Amino acid sequence: MFNRRLYLVISEDACKGRDLVSVATAAVKGGVDVIQLREKHLDNPAFLERALRLKEALVPFRVPLVINDNLWVAQQCCATGIHVGNSDLPPLDIRAQWPSCGILGYSIEYEKQLCTADAAAADYLALSPVFATATKTDTVTEWKLEGIRKIRAMTDKPLVAIGAIHEGNAAGVIRAGADCLAIVSAICAAPDPEKAAAAIRLQIEKAL
């Protein structure tokens, strides 16, 4: 069962020149309890090398590593799981090719996806994006708080909210029905990732 609260989506680009593993470990110390490595522009060997380095750093913290949209890398580094969108390898195919997958996440970009077998096969559903963000340029639906409330009423699946979420709006997103917040810039680009993560985690706990 997916029961995480603060989800870091990290890439080297998002870290603004800082070491990715250092940013990730600082964020974990601040309260991040699951990390997704998202490297859309790396070839498989480079992606795998980065995944292995990050996974090793997370072992002492017992924080699971999820790989974005690369089944080969996820399997090769023995990641806990994988996250896919509606233009990636579908969750049903992931289940068939990787039966031991521990966490399978699926991005929901429009309402009718919710009623598909692929959504049913996922461990959590990510509403993407909740608010428009420069890190996602192919937005189908900007869910906003009303969208979270609507989807919450339609499913018992854990909901992960992503898209321009930060300390100032985190509590409202949780109160609208999200179970977990996925953060990119508000932690990765923060001057102090540990402090930024702790501030968001505090808002989550207050809203529960």
Strand partners, 108: 127
Instruction: Determine, yes or no, domain membership for 41.
Output: yes
Strands (E), the chain: 6-10, 34-37, 65-68, 81-84, 103-108, 124-127, 159-162, 180-183
Instruction: Determine, yes or no, domain membership for 81.
Output: yes
Dist CA 1 CA 124 (whole Å): 9
Q: Is residue 22 marked as binding?
A: no
Q: What is the pLDDT of residues 150-180, one digit of tens each?
A: 999 999 999 999 999 999 999 999 999 999 9
Tell me if the pTM is above 0.85: yes
Report which secondary-structure segment, H or E, holds 189: none
Q: What is the pLDDT of residues 30-63, one digit of tens each?
A: 999 999 999 999 999 999 999 999 999 999 999 9
Task: Tell me which of 107, 128, 157, 201 is the catalytic residue.
Answer: 107
Residue 191, domain extent = 6-207
Mark whether 107 is an active-site residue: yes
Q: Is residue 40 marked as binding?
A: yes
What CATH number does residue 159 fall under?
3.20.20.70
Strand partners, 122: none
Instruction: Determine, yes or no, domain membership for 1.
Output: no
Instruction: Determine, yes or no, domain membership for 195.
Output: yes
Q: Is residue 142 marked as binding?
A: no
* Mean pLDDT of the region 80-95: 96
Residue 134 has pLDDT above 80, yes or no: no
Number of domains in the chain: 1
